[in-house]
Amino acid sequence: MRVEVRDLVLRYGEKTALDGISLSLPENKIYGLLGRNGSGKTSLLSVLAGFRRESAGEVLVDGDPVFENAAVTSRISLIRDVGETTDLGTVDDALFFAEWLREDWDAEFARELLERFKLTRKMTVKTMSTGQRSALGVIIGLAGRAPLTMFDESYLGMDAPARAEFYDVLLADYMANPRTIIMSSHLIEEVSPLFEQVVIIDLGRLVVHEEAQTLLARGISVTGAAAPVDAFTEGLTVLGSRQLGATKSVMVYGDLDEARRREAAAAGLELGPIAMQDLFLHLTVDPR
């Protein structure tokens, strides 16, 4: 499903959670939605899922408004960070309601995922561990195969091996059954290899919307003797720097053409990549 957001504003009383966000997400891609705590990620996903009505602006999915539009919301799935709600009864009950709500539900795939994540249908959701509830949430998100599927930190409760299993299953199923997937995460380095495009929001505003590889290519570390590093990076967008003795490393954001790269080599400087997480940290505001 194609997502269009135009001048989106969302307010909670006097607080503005989303402040004029505009973006276009073509269908059948995996998007990473990144932002610090309180940046507006969950608010944005809630509006996209039709859980909240925008205060101003427009939100369209496949050209239709979302809020109170059952024909659209029936094809959207948002799995939230708390995993599955605790008052659903058993796993079997949760799957029953998921199948009832999702027209694209794949019951056989759900059965396979239960085995893979070691859950049984008779387990009581209320007494399950956080990791088990997270696993149930991602099972429902994957087996639902909604054309717009969103995971809001929903896999954080799982341990590292279970998360790795989830990433493998998600990518394989996405390749076999393309759909629009949005993943909100704080585990940036762990999950970023899945992203085709990255959306970064901060303090309710859009900071970056780029192809993942384009964004990574714009982050460059420049390392060498302090004076040549300072001279080379003058006029560039500097994200941060570190110095140990006479050696300095500066992180810059922007495009360096071949001429500038040759200039760096001639000055004895080493150019290297910056990890997605480092780029994210320097492109957003630390609330402290």
Which overall architecture, per CATH, does domain 3-203 show?
A: 3-Layer(aba) Sandwich (3.40)
pLDDT of residue 63: 93
- In this predicted model, what pLDDT tens digit does every residue of 185-213 receive, in sequence order? 888 989 999 999 999 999 999 999 999 99
Cα–Cα distance, 256 to 259 (Å, whole number): 8
- In this predicted model, what pLDDT tens digit does every residue of 19-76 receive, in sequence order? 999 999 999 999 999 999 889 999 999 999 999 999 999 999 999 999 999 999 999 9
- Number of Cβ within 10 Å of residue 19's Cβ equals 17
Token pair of 97 as six digits: 């309601």
Largest Cα span, the chain: 67
Residue 283, pLDDT above cutoff 90: no
Across 2-17, average pLDDT: 95
Cα–Cα distance, 265 to 271 (Å, whole number): 8
Cα–Cα distance, 114 to 107 (Å, whole number): 11
> Which of 42, 54, 51 minimizes the C-alpha distance to 4?
54
Residue 282 — pLDDT band, cuts 50, 70, 90? confident
Looking up tokens 């759900």 gives 110
- In this predicted model, what pLDDT tens digit does every residue of 205-244 receive, in sequence order? 999 999 999 999 889 999 999 999 999 999 998 988 999 9
What CA–CA distances, in Å, run from 262 to 237, 246, 258? 19, 22, 6
Token pair of 281 as six digits: 């940290």
Residue 87, pLDDT above cutoff 70: no
Beta bridge partners of 5: 23, 59
Fold that domain 215-283 belongs to in CATH: Alpha-Beta Plaits (3.30.70)
pLDDT of residue 83: 57
Across 81-91, average pLDDT: 69
Cα–Cα distance, 229 to 151 (Å, whole number): 41
- Listed in order, the ranges of the chain carrying CATH 3.30.70.240 are 215-283
Residue 82 — pLDDT band, cuts 50, 70, 90? low
- Listed in order, the ranges of the chain carrying CATH 3.40.50.300 are 3-203
> Which of 29, 136, 131 minimizes the C-alpha distance to 91?
136
pLDDT of residue 244: 92
Per the prediction, the chain carries an average pLDDT of: 92
Question: Under a CB-based contact definition with an 8 Å cutoff, are residues 240 and 233 in contact?
Answer: no
Residue 156 — pLDDT band, cuts 50, 70, 90? confident
pLDDT of residue 284: 87
In sign, the C-alpha dihedral spanning 153, 1, 281, 47 is: negative
- In this predicted model, what pLDDT tens digit does every residue of 92-138 receive, in sequence order? 999 999 999 888 999 999 999 999 999 999 999 888 888 999 999 99
Sequence letter at residue 227: A
Q: What is the CA radius of gyration of the chain?
A: 22
pLDDT of residue 199: 97
For the entire predicted model, the pTM comes to: 0.89
